[in-house]
Amino acid sequence: MSQYEFESNHDGDWDDNEEVAWNEADWQNFLRKSDKEVARFITVYNKVKKNPDRLDAAAALMGWHRDDWSSSDEIDVDVDEIQQLCPLDIDEVRKMDPYTIHRHPVYISSTAFFSYLRASWEHLMRHNRKQPEPWLSWSYCGSLADAERHCLLAANCLDLGDFLLAVCHLKKAHSALNESMRLNRLFYHHSPKIFSKYIHESDIRMYDLREIWIRIIQDCRK
């Protein structure tokens, strides 16, 4: 696997390094773990949903720190600390999962929120006696997809250290999500009570998505 390969091997200490490489089954298992993390965030978020500081509470339960969201702070390590660092044993390296964007807090939380927004809308429409106009459904789904696309691109930019590019993508995501919020209120449901609850739950998650993005934008601009 490329994450564990070393460009230089002059001393021959890594002759069996090719054994670290993952096959397709390993990566499929890794993706299943990623999906479980998204599901775990949904569960954690639902437990603290009524908390005014639900984002921070959910992040704490997930084991995340504030700096994990944007990764914009440089690591400050002095010379003495560097000298004390020891190389990882190859056996320990083999046991480690690779780091990919799937493990980034922005990816996990955003994927969870967008999954909820899609599923709740589909459930609402599936049990709606009066189906919406095609243009409205298409526009809503399109704006939601644009918001998710720019959000995930921003997460990738954060991971690569392109912080100002991440800001640009998050601004586009913010604009698309605002359009989703506007269109969401144009739908009709035969039960005003059900529709009111749907709007309430959707708004909570959309506002929290925007709150995450605003925090990251502020960190990236520091």
Report yes or no: 191 and 141 within 8 Å, Cβ to Cβ: no
191 in a structural domain: yes
pTM, two decimals, is 0.79
pLDDT tens series, the chain, 222 aa = 444 343 444 444 444 444 558 899 999 999 999 999 999 999 999 999 999 999 999 999 999 876 555 554 444 444 454 455 455 454 454 555 777 889 899 999 999 999 999 999 999 999 999 899 999 999 999 999 999 999 999 999 998 899 999 999 999 999 999 999 999 999 999 999 999 999 999 999 999 999 999 999 999 988
Q: Domain range spanning residue 194?
A: 25-222
3-class DSSP assignment, residue 122: helix
Structural domain contains residue 62: yes
Q: Is residue 5 part of a domain?
A: no
In a domain, 20, yes or no: no
Is 12 inside a domain boundary? no
Count of structural domains within the chain: 1
- In a domain, residue 19? The reply is no
Query: Within a domain: residue 10?
Result: no
Cα 159 off chain centre by: 12
In whole angstroms, give the CA distance from residue 114 to residue 89: 39
CA–CA separation, 64 and 9 (whole Å): 35
Pair 215, 166: CB distance under 8 Å: no
